[in-house]
Amino acid sequence: MIKLSKHTADEMGGRNILMSFIEDALAAPDRVSADPTDPSLSRSYKAIVAFGNRVLRVVHRRDGADIFVVTAHWDRGAKR
């Protein structure tokens, strides 16, 4: 199960991020990297075709059997 932080849930609408975009980024990321500031977090990147191939960055961590999403936003500097 994917759990969203309050911040993520509150910001999704204003950032035009659908839950399906987050699910795609977590299920089949184009790239995954460690978060440079917190070793418990990972960053998953996914070009979202339905949104003009903009790259979504999802910062997350394992929470037991679940995935906890700390934040999700469009990454303007990500390479496609």
pLDDT tens by residue, 27-52: 999 999 999 999 999 999 999 999 99
Mean pLDDT of the chain: 94
Domain boundaries, the chain: 2-74
pLDDT tens by residue, 6-17: 999 999 999 999
Choose among 79, 44, 58: nearest CA to 12: 58
Tell which CATH architecture fits domain 2-74: 2-Layer Sandwich (3.30)
Return the exposure string of 40-53: e unless at least 16 CB atoms fall within 10 Å of the residue's CB, then b: ebbbbbbbbeeeee
The tokens for 56 are 């979504």
